[in-house]
A and B are shown apart, each in its own frame.
Chain A
Amino acid sequence: MADVVVEQGRSVRAASPRKRTSLHNALRRKSTVAFFLTLPLILLIALLVLYPAFYSAHLAMLNKSMQKFVGLSNFTFLFKRDTFWMVVRQSCIFAITAVFFKALLGFIVAHFVHNLPAKGQRKWRGMLLVPWVIPPAMSTLAWLWLFDPSYSAFNYTLSFFGIGPIPWLGDTFWARFSVILVNVWYGAPFFMIMYLAALKSVPDQLYEAAAIDGANWWQRIWYVTLPMMRNIIAITTLFSLIVTFANFDIVRILTSGGPLDSTHIFATWAFQVGIQSSDIPLGACVSLFMVPILAVAAIFILRDVSKRGNEA
């Protein structure tokens, strides 16, 4: 027994000088280790995200056969096209309307779920999050079938109420409505989950205090819930604005930009110009117009992130 203990002590002492040097080495090499641990990440981001982003700006300044540098003439060419301005307008309408309704619907649904007794919440939350889980390309196909010009199940149902067949994807207004509707359907659950998490973090005492002061439900929402959730609402909206602005799947599958390019947004138009009509520089040019709004949103998000970092 004692032998073992002595042996253990000796081995520890024998090891200690070696250990100290290795500790020293480890300390000295900490930055080296860290460098190697982050190297794959840095390489990935530099080669496949940052480089293409700058390469895109370079491509946008070449002519169609990509042999001559033409400066900004691709941009001036775009500015003269009506389609381009229509795409700009439609992108803004699409993103702002969709995000607004997603946020509104998400907020309302989150409230209703929050009202339920805690036992039933899980079930409802699980059901309402399904649209977010299905890959958008798959669920948009279901919407396409629901909107089908001749077999639309919606029109079948509406005909019982005497509402004539609606050209869901054939008419400019309805096509714009439909892409926004599908986007809201897909994105509202995300807001719901975010708001639900935020609602749960609002302390009950605040509501009790408000109730004692005689606040009605609207005042409780306006003076307690909204200020407490301001941060999460802002960041979720900005996130969603970026994602919606850059949306591709839904518009591509539902309308491919039609009728008459009226539902094209930046991503789908860039795809059509750059890949389908193989004018890569012009396509790159179109997609670059997404950068300003992304940059503005990113600055706001970043400000919030660093603020949180300081608080923590």
Chain B
Amino acid sequence: MSTLAIDKGGPTRKVKYRSMSRDRTWALRWSYFFLVLFAIFSLTPPIYMLITSLKSSAEISAATNPWWVFHPTLSNYVELLTSNQFLRFFWNSAIVSIVVVMVTMLISIPAAFALARMKFWGSTTLATGVFLTYLIPDSLLFIPLFKMLAVVQDLTGITLLNRWYVLLFIYPTLTVPFCTWIMIGYFASIPKELDEAALIDGASWLQTLTRIFIPVALPGLIAATIFAFTVSWAQFLYPLVFTTSVDQLVLPVGITTTLIKGDVFNWGQIMTGALLGAAPPLIIYAFLMDYYIAGLTAGATKG
């Protein structure tokens, strides 16, 4: 009886074990196979950008294999990086994004601190309101904002339309709600004992914020900064609506409008410009991937 049971137990366990490990290897092989397919799908456009940017106009219009560069040249890069117009776009984009990041942090860190730690009348409503604002898309607001800018311009005589600095006021509407929201999450996760200790030691609220909260929540701060920078760098609709003169454009709008002259597409330069425009977020992402992903997931897991 007992030998029978052992006999029965032996082979089934062995078979099951082998089939499970075989399942596992096959699952792994399939995973790699499909992931390679998805990776090709994901990376085709950026790689094609790179390929085209290394070609001369003659090669682009020749009937050769488009996936290969036969005579690599850097002339597109040289031409763009020495053109005042392109450098102007880059400069506009850089200054707008950097200032917007600073404005965003100055607004959202104190607000998030107050909403996370100082329970006051309406604080929960305000926190929910901030989150709801994040859901209001730019494509709903660009027309009234355009009209508002025109009205303010008429009333005060300050030129607002067709000036890049107006983006400094508009972009924070896209960055501040999300940054405040994730900073509330990070601040709320700091143990209460820390700031109680600081208060007992005689720190003011502002000192608690700058000496305790900001250093402790630094990873969250970096994630929010990256988010704000990426959003301001990539924003396309607002600059397209609010700015038109060539010297006021930011990079995405500049590339899509000025490098296309009439119906002539200079694809080598367009792709070079697009690649250079994609470079700053890509470089940040390459070095700070974990913060980038933390910011991405914090937004939705907290909300």
Contact = CB atoms under 8 A, between A and B. Distances in A.
Interface of A: 19, 26, 30-31, 33-35, 37-38, 40-42, 44-45, 48-53, 55-56, 59, 66, 105, 108-109, 111-113, 115-116, 122, 124-131, 133-139, 141-143, 145-146, 148, 151, 153, 156-157, 185, 189-190, 193-194, 197, 217, 232, 235-236, 239, 242-243, 245-249, 252-253, 266-267, 270-271, 274-275, 280, 283-284, 287-288, 290-291, 294, 297-298, 301-302, 305-306, 308
A301 B132 CA distance: 9
Interface in B32-46: 32, 34-35, 38-39, 41-46
Nearest to A238: B135
A138 B255 contact: yes
B31 A112 contact: yes
B115 to A, nearest CB: 7
B237 A248 contact: yes
B111 A133 contact: no
Contact of A139 (B45, B128, B267): B45
A138 B252 contact: yes
Given A56-B144, A246-B138, A253-B256, A109 B278 contact: no
A260 to B, nearest CB: 19
16 contacts: A35-B120, A44-B176, A45-B130, A48-B145, A109-B35, A112-B30, A127-B39, A130-B46, A138-B278, A139-B278, A143-B45, A153-B67, A197-B297, A267-B137, A267-B237, A290-B137
A42 B137 CA distance: 18
Interface of B: 27-28, 30-32, 34-35, 38-39, 41-46, 48-49, 52, 60-61, 65-67, 106-108, 110-111, 113-115, 118, 120-121, 123, 126, 128-133, 135-148, 169-170, 172-173, 176-177, 180, 199, 202, 204-205, 230, 233-234, 236-237, 240-241, 252-253, 255-256, 265, 267, 270-271, 274-275, 277-278, 281-282, 285-286, 289, 292-293, 296-297, 300-301, 303
Contacts of B282: 130, 133-134
A89 B169 CA distance: 35
A50 B270 CA distance: 37
B45 A297 contact: no
A275 B270 contact: no
B144 A59 contact: yes
Contacts of A249: 236-237
Contacts of B300: 194, 232, 235-236, 239
Contacts of B292: 133
Contact of A135 (B115, B133, B233): B233
A53 B176 contact: no
A272 B54 CA distance: 35
B173 A139 contact: no
Contact of B285 (A133, A243, A248, A288): A133
A31 to B, nearest CB: 5
B140 A145 contact: no
A296 B110 CA distance: 31
B236 A248 contact: yes
Contacts of A156: 65-67
Contact of B143 (A33, A197, A253, A287): A287
Given A33-B205, A45-B133, A141-B256, A52 B148 contact: yes
Given A35-B120, A49-B173, A56-B144, A290 B39 contact: no
Contacts of A59: 143-144, 147
The 6 closest A-B pairs by CB, nearest first: A246-B137, A135-B234, A267-B139, A52-B144, A137-B252, A142-B45
Given A134-B278, A185-B41, A185-B45, A294 B140 contact: yes
A37 B234 contact: no
B139 A248 contact: yes
A153 to B, nearest CB: 4
Given A156-B66, A193-B297, 13 more contacts: A41-B108, A52-B141, A113-B35, A130-B282, A135-B234, A135-B281, A141-B255, A142-B274, A156-B65, A185-B41, A197-B297, A197-B301, A271-B240
Contacts of A308: 303
A122 B278 CA distance: 22
